[in-house]
Structure 1
Amino acid sequence: MLLDLTERETQSDFDKMDTYLKTIEEEDFDCWWYARQVESGMIPACQFVKNAIARERAKLSDPNCLYYFDPHPGFRFFAFCRHFYHLKGDKGGTPFILAPWQIWVFSMLLGWKNKEGQYKDKRQYKVTYLEVPRGSGKSAMMGLFGLFMLSMDGEWEPEVYVAATKKDQANLIFNSVVRQVEFPANKKIIQHIKVRRKREYLISTKLQGGTFKSLSKDSKSFDGMNIHCALVDEIHAHPDSEIWDVLSSGSNKRAQSLMVGITTAGTNFSNFGFQQSTYMKKLLRGDFHDDETFACVWTIDKGDDLYTEDTWIKANPSWWTSAINHTKFANAIERTRNWPETKAETFTKLLNIWYQSSDKWLAPEKVAACNDLTIPEEQFKDIPCIIGVDLGWTEDMTALVNVYERIEKEAEGVFRKHYYVYPRFFSPSRLVASGSKPKYTMWEKDGLLETMPGDTIDYEVLQEMIFKEFRSHRVIETAFDRWNGHQMMTNIQNQFGRDAVSQINQSMGGLNDASKFFKRLVLEQRIHFHHDILVWNCVNAVVRVGNGGLILVDKDPGAPQDKIDGLKATLNALERFMIRNGSNGDAWEAIMI
């Protein structure tokens, strides 16, 4: 049996392990070895990995757990893999031995089963999400897993798919499987599996009549699928949830179908990939329960030194067991000190950090940290509210935001103001239905974007919504861009008094103080919201600096499709809070841009 490490892992430890695993039998198979080494600190890992392990461990000791663990399927996949060979790179021609972290992952997603009910003895997990850096061997690993699900999972006529946004990306995994099937040394174990070529490659098995195909967004074969296993590659590159949703729908017809998403981190904080990553990290933090989803994310922890090997090992579970060139890795990280334009590519691919490199005003990770609001708005109904309004273009997007200010106790004897933002976004229904803005379609489906009939925003409907807020909440005023919505402002004043409307100057300097205050609130996590469109608005914003250091938050002129309406509405409301607080308020402390 493989012994636990007593000192921090080294290359020689994993060389010995590789030799041992080539001949290990099932009675000595230990699928929890990796988990124990992480728990003991012998293998460095980030908090998300530790939480993922704790989540699985807890079920073992819970007498009321609805699931039981069967280690046999994990060993079957491990044993299946070692009959194959690495077919490229420095390891080419050597047996394919799963790394300890891979053994643990596949043992978990295959081994947990339902104790009772309609799906007794069927797998617990329907969805798996893995976020790992480049160099972790994910293409070869996932390719063999797809082949295993095609030929060894006991399913009749299994349909296995690998999907990505582009055909070339989907084929990275699929072609690795084709090469394995056609490699002469593998013929004995998979003699019943064939590769056929019509218009494109198709892998099929004679035993249960299964098929394995690759798909991309431009594929014409998305209809009528009855999926047993879907492998979705590089989710960070998916602009929307279309592919995931279609595959998920096609996997609902079988008792233990499996969706597997695998990706590195990315640079787009407004697409489906980042939404998935955020969801999975919240699951691992314990913010909610989702018993059908297994997730694990290998990255670094907040405050880690990016330029030390300990941090690199933490983010790379295959540091000792893959073909990662440690010298080249170190050189790439070091290069970012003097060439900051390389940070996005290097940090996302090598350290699995979501990173956006640009002249954007707000760091996306800081904005994401503020997207944490879980308090229902009704709890603020007796607290003063300012409604920020940004009417934008009537044929595109408009935002209304309710902003509340409340003093919170941060530590013993420390009290500071926090701000709570509840936004609503609106677009014309025909714009959303046209499909010209895929994000809008996705947001409408998720309930984040409200549509109004026709080609334009109906200001009278918005006005009635504002009237309703005055009657149901303690609204003290509305804050408008002074150049838009004159009739609406007049109508609000006629209903609720002259002080119910403030006009905000949004030119250079007009929102200077509110903008600097907003950035400070973000950095100190004293502003809270829970809305993906507002996150998108915030990370889209750029800043122009004028005379005397005055700033103007604006859209990126190179990306006019990237809106900031919700952010501008929030700044309008903050400007009014600052004026009401007066020059002695906390809002007027000095702050850097």
Structure 2
Amino acid sequence: MMTAGRTRSTRSQPARSATTDSPWADVDLDELKLSPEVAWYLEDRGYPVPDCPPLIKTPEPRDFPGARFDPARVDKVIAAFRQLRHTKGRFAGQRFDPDCWQVAYMIAPVAGWVHRSIDSGKWVRIITIAYFDMPRKNGKTTTAAGWGIYLTAADDEFGAQVVAAATTKEQAGFVFEPIRQLVNKSPGLKRHLRALKHRITHAASGSYFQPIANAGDAQHGADIHGGIVDELHLHKDMVLIEALETGTGSREQPLIIYITTADAGRRHTPYDEKRQLIEKLARGVLKRATTYGVVFAAEKTDDPFAVSTWKKANPGLGISPTMRFMVEAAEKAKDSPAELARFLRLHLGIRTKQETRYLDVDHWDVNASIVIPERLKGRECYGGLDLGSTSDLTALLWVFPNDDGTFDLLARHWAPEDSIAALDERTAGAASGWVKQGWLTTTPGNVTDYDFIEAQIGRDRDEFLVKEIAFDRWNSQQLINNLISDGAPMITMGQGFASMSAPTKDLQRLIRVGAQVDDQGVPVKPIVRHGGNPLLRWEIDNFAVVMDPAGNVKPDKANAGDKIDGVVALIMAISRAIAAREAAATSAYDDDEGEGLMVV
């Protein structure tokens, strides 16, 4: 409770106990995810009790050596925010006054915690990286503007270089332009700042704020004091982000702020890497006092159409977003699975693809089970070979049917050695790990050497009882001709709706059936046992389909999150395995039908 939790001093202001008639008297700080220091500040400055704690919040650096909470630092940041004027809608022209939830979770924890610099002895901020993840329309642009202006003109930093970073010049402009307009329309700021077309300058300190769109811009000068990274989920690689964070080395209290909405749930992306870090810090798995983050979102189990769920994910509900906006968005979501997925991600902060996810990666994980390659020797199997591009991944999937209706999988992937660096950028460094762990085989040079694949298929044919290997007839290259000449049982398989719809739906069904668990959460009977192959999991997570008017589906490489070659190969292999099983069942049925009859 509040009175029990507020005995700790802020070390700059004495701790006080809330009076019995105060709205803070019976507040549970743990439930609200508030530190005693921030709670004291909110009450002392007359803020109401916030009623919208974030779903995820990292610990504040209370136990950092020499840490103290300085309320004057928070006052100074809020004063800078109050210089801003709204530029659009019903609040146009009015002063921006941060709401209690913004102060509680996005300003006070970052601005208030300080310690003495080991370099100069000055009091400086402890937190150097802040991560704010929330649905659209909750004032992210204004928050970015407030921090950007503060870092440029009010942080007592001479020659401050502050940047608004995005992946393209156009996107960087989307971030910077609203901030430039805020400066032009805020009288208190116009006296001190000059808003040019591509830069905001503060003459008194020789500082500036400008947009950048690539790592080269970030490295130019390499003396960054502050950075605003808007919509982190749009970044495809870590190059710009790493340039920003490593470019702050000469500053005593730099601050890089990530402000974003949830992504589409893809793994091994910059967003995923930062989000996973914040979740681990929040759980206490990792400790990093200089990194702070909050995530406002609903939980997957919440009713997406309940107002209480909307409030949980949108702390600004009723102001921005408006209730009208949420009602209209929810009505659209009720009419379309695609709109529902979009509503969950953009307005409730739940990580999910905008399109309906066809293969559920959580279901896939339940199917993992253990697959020991040595125990597959001599077993009957069916292959799927997706040659893909010679400059990227090639996949071969072996499917081993079991008598109980389950399947064991063995996945082989190849890629040119020179492509791993680019693949690392798309997977946040995971590709190099896949190579070291044996999940991915590299071939010399910048194109896949098909001799490696041919040799591996030859070894596999010696090890396993290979019945068929399905391949795309449009990729009938020299490798296929060599395999056919060597006696490999190659089967052509088209990639259109007619060939791919049924096995794609079969794979979805098998994964769902195999995802059932008992009361203790233990898988009942994994059907598609894949051994937890992380590369194949990444491809499952990337997988997308296109659907025709009749409801037929096929893999959609053009709109997939990234490579899906392994999944396409799996669909082809499982198609042949199921076809063989059905043929065997039909043959057995025909034999039974003839028993006891006289053949004339």
For Structure 1 versus Structure 2, the TM-score category normalised by the shorter chain is 0.5 to 0.7
Say which of 260, 270, 276 aligns to 2:257: 260
The equivalent residue for 2:303 is: 305
Residue of structure 2 in register with 1:15 after alignment? none
Q: 2:139 aligns with which of 117, 120, 137?
A: 137
C-alpha distance in 1, partners of 2:44/2:401?
Answer: 59
Q: Show the counterpart of 2:593.
A: none
Give the letter aligned to residue 361 of structure 2: V
Indicate how the Cα distance of structure 1 residues 459 and 125 shifts in structure 2: closer, same or farther if over 3 A, else same.
farther
1:367 counterpart = 2:361: yes
The answer for unaligned runs of 5 or more in structure 1 is 9-20, 38-42, 408-414, 586-593
Aligned residue for 2:158?
Answer: 156
Please provide the CA RMSD for this pair: 5.2
How far apart are 1:530 and its partner, in Å? 3.1
| Cα distance change on mapping 1:387 and 1:5 into 2, 3 Å | farther
Q: Percent identity?
A: 18
Structure 1 position 574, deviation (Å): 5.4
Give the C-alpha shift of residue 248 in structure 1: 3.0
- The 1:463–1:519 alpha-carbon spacing in structure 2 relative to 1, beyond 3 Å, is same
Give the TM-score, by structure 2 length: 0.67
Helix, strand or coil at the partner of 1:251: coil
How far has the Cα of 1:169 moved from its partner?
Answer: 3.9
Alignment length (residue pairs)? 518
- Amino acid across the alignment from 1:195: R
2:32: which partner in 1?
none
Code of the aligned partner of 2:539:
V
Letter in 1 for 2:449: D
Within-5 A mapping of 1:61-80? 68=67, 70-72=69-71, 73-80=73-80
Question: How far, CA to CA, are the matches of 2:342 and 2:384 in structure 1?
Answer: 37
Q: SS of the residue aligned with 2:209? A: strand
CA distance in structure 2 between the aligned counterparts of 1:216 and 1:225, rounded to whole angstroms: 15
Q: Distance in 1 between matches of 2:583 and 2:115?
A: 62
Q: Decide whether aligned partners of structure 1 residues 536 and 270 sit closer, same or farther in structure 2, where only a CA change above 3 A counts.
A: farther
Helix, strand or coil at the partner of 1:568 = helix
| Residue deviations 1:275-311 (CA, integer Å, cap 9, x gap) | 3475357536749526253332222211222222111
Cα distance change on mapping 1:402 and 1:394 into 2, 3 Å: closer
What 5-or-longer segments of structure 2 have no aligned partner? 1-17, 29-37, 433-439, 516-525, 586-600
2:511 aligned residue (506, 521, 537): 521
1:174 match: 176
Matched, 1:458 2:449: yes
1:204 matched to which residue of 2?
201
Q: CA deviation at 1:362?
A: 1.0
Partner Cα separation in structure 2 for residue 387 and residue 129 of structure 1: 47
Residues 48-63 of structure 1 correspond to what in structure 2 (within 5 A)? 49-52=54-57, 55-56=58-59
1:412 matched to which residue of 2? none
Greater Rg over alpha carbons, structure: 2
Aligned residue type for 2:291: T
Cα distance in 2 for residues equivalent to 1:245 and 1:77: 26
Counterpart CA distance in 1 for 2:280 and 2:542 is 24
Correspondence 1:532-571 to 2 at 5 A: 534-535=538-539, 538-542=542-546, 553-555=554-556, 563-571=563-571
Contact 2:268 2:427 in 1 (8 A): no
Q: Indicate the residue corresponding to 1:232 in structure 2.
A: 229
Aligned equivalents of 1:337, 1:283: Cα separation in 2: 34
Distance 1:423 1:554 in 2: 19
- Confirm or deny that 1:530 pairs with 2:534: yes
Per the alignment, residue 107 of structure 2 pairs with 106
Secondary structure at the aligned position of 1:109 is classed as helix
Q: Distance in 1 between matches of 2:154 and 2:208?
A: 13
User: For 1:352 and 1:210, how far apart are their aligned partners in 2?
Assistant: 35
> Residues 421 and 519 (structure 1 numbering): CA distance in 2 closer, same or farther, change over 3 Å?
farther
Distance 1:504 1:108, change over 3 A: farther
Following the alignment from structure 1 to structure 2, what is the Cα–Cα distance between the partners of residues 362 and 287? 33
Give how far 1:5 is off: 9.0
Where in structure 2 are the equivalents of 1:172-571 lying within 5 Å?
A: 172-183=174-185, 185-187=187-189, 191=191, 193-195=192-194, 197=196, 200-217=197-214, 223-266=220-263, 269=266, 272=269, 275-276=272-273, 279-280=276-277, 282-283=279-280, 286=283, 288-289=285-286, 291=288, 292-320=290-318, 322-338=319-335, 342-343=339-340, 346-358=343-355, 362=358, 366-367=360-361, 370=364, 384=376, 390-393=385-388, 395-400=390-395, 424-427=413-416, 429=418, 442-443=426-427, 446-447=430-431, 452-462=443-453, 480-481=469-470, 485-486=479-480, 506-507=493-494, 512=502, 516-521=506-511, 525=515, 528-531=532-535, 534-535=538-539, 538-542=542-546, 553-555=554-556, 563-571=563-571
